[in-house]
Structure 1
Amino acid sequence: MSRPIARLGAAALPAVLLLGGCTQTSAGDTPRDVPTSAVAPATLAEMKADAGIQDCPASDPTVAPQPNGLPDVAVGCLGGGRDVRLAGLRGTPMLINVWGQWCLPCRQEAPYLTEIANSPHAGLSLIGIDYDDPRPDYAIEWAQLSKWRYPQLADPDRTLAGPLKVAGGPPQTLFVDAEGKVVFRHAGAFTSADQIRDLVRQHLGVKLT
C-alpha cells in the first residue's frame, strides 16, 4: 500500500484535512478494513527520527496511582522506544491528546495543537496517543506533516478505552496536573488554539503566550 500523506507538502494540508485517505466523518469510525501495517520496526524508528518526534517520557514505575488520576496502564511508544506507565507520569502539568490519523476531527484540530506546541510553554508537557490505529507508519507521517515534535504514545489495540474512558473515540484531550490527577477532559475537537490556551489557564493554571 502506498503512503500518500508523506508526499504532500504543507500547502496541501487543507485538502488533506478534508480528503486525505480518511473516509471517516466523525470520531470513532475506525477503518476496520485497513490492513495492519507490515512496516518493520527499524523502518518505523527511522521514520520517527526523520519526523523529529521526541522520545517518550520516562515514567516512575513505583509511584502509586492517584485517585481520579491517570490509569495504571503501560502503553508503547509510537515508532519504538520505552513503554510509558501513565500513572507514573508526574512533575509537570500535561495535555494528553488522544487521536488517530484516520479520524477527521483529529486532523481538523491538528493545527491548533501544533500552535500550542510551538508556543512558549515552560511548565506544560504535551503528549499524544495514537489510538485504535492499524497504521503506525501513516500516524508518523501525519505527525510529521502536522509538525508535531512532542512525544507520541501508541495504543493500537484500544487498551485505554476503558481505563482512560475513551470508548467514545478520539479526539479527546485530558488536562492532567503535576500530581497526575485528571482535572478536566475535553471531548471532541478543539476549534482554536485560543480555546486550548483558555482551558490550560483555567484548569492547569499555566499561561501560554
Structure 2
Amino acid sequence: MLAVVVVMGLLAACGSEQSGAGNQPSGGGSQSRSIAGADKLAACPSVPSRPPVANALPDISLPCLGNGPDMRLSALRGPLVVNVWAQWCGPCRKEAPYLAALKKKAGGKLQLVGIDYADPRPELAVKFATEQQWDYPHVVDDEKATQQALKIAGPPLTAFVDQDGAVVYVHRGELTSQQQLDQLVREKLGVTW
C-alpha cells in the first residue's frame, strides 16, 4: 500500500512539473509564458538595476505572469502598491475590484504590481486577473519565495512602497472597502488624486 502512495505522489509531482507554469523564482531573463490569455495582461516592464535599500522588498526576481522580463522586487521604487493574491483566495476575490479602481483613479501617480502567490493553476490566475481588468503587471511566486521577507501567512497582503524603495507599511488580510485602500495610499504614500 505504501508503494502505491509513493508512486501516486511521484506521478502527481511529475504532472505539475510539466505544466509549463515557469517554476523558477529567481530566473534571469525574459519569461515567455505559454498560458492562454497571458498576452492580454499588462506586460512586466524592464526594471533598472538598483542596489537594495533598507526595508526594501525582497532581493529576488520573479517571472512575469503575462509577457515581459522577470522583475527584481528590490529594484522597484514607488509610490507603489504591491498586492499578494491568488485566484483560489476568497478574500483576494473580494478586494480585487478596489485594486482595479485604484489603478484607474490614481493613473500615473501610483504604480501597482501583483504577486500571484502559491497558485497551482496559472491558467486560472491569468483568467482571474483578466476578468478583474487589472491593468498592471503581475509576477508569479509559486514557490513562496517572498513568504519570509514579507511574513506572508497567506494572501491577501498589500505592501506600500515609497519613492526610495522602502516598504513603509504592510496590510495583512483583506482590504474591506475602496475607502480603506484609498486612505492607506494617501496616508502611507502621500498620493492624492
TM-score by length of 1: 0.75
Match of 1:136 in 2: 122
Any residues of structure 2 matched to 1:51-200 within 5 Å, and which?
A: 51=40, 53-61=41-49, 63-90=50-77, 92-166=78-152, 168-200=153-185
Match of 2:8 in 1: none
Q: Deviations over 1:21-67 (max 9, x none)?
A: xxxxxxxxxxx99x7482686541x5122x3x211132233x22111
Q: Deviations over 1:92-149 (max 9, x none)?
A: 3100000000111101111111111221432200110000011111000001111112
Aligned residue pairs total 170
Letter in 2 for 1:106: C
Q: Deviations over 1:126-177 (max 9, x none)?
A: 11000001111100000111111210110011111112221x0110000000
Residue 119 of structure 1 aligns to a residue whose secondary structure is helix
Q: Which moved more, 1:77-86 or 1:176-185?
A: 77-86
Residue 169 of structure 2 aligns to a residue whose secondary structure is strand
d(CA) in 2 for partners of 1:134, 1:81: 21
Q: State whether residues 76 and 154 of structure 1, in contact with CA within 8 Å, keep that contact through their aligned partners in structure 2.
A: yes
Residue 98 of structure 1 aligns to a residue whose secondary structure is strand
Name the structure with the higher helix share: 2
Q: 1:39 to 1:67 in 2, by over 3 A?
A: closer
Structure 1 or 2, whichever has the larger Rg, is 2
Match of 2:27 in 1: none
Q: Percent identity?
A: 42
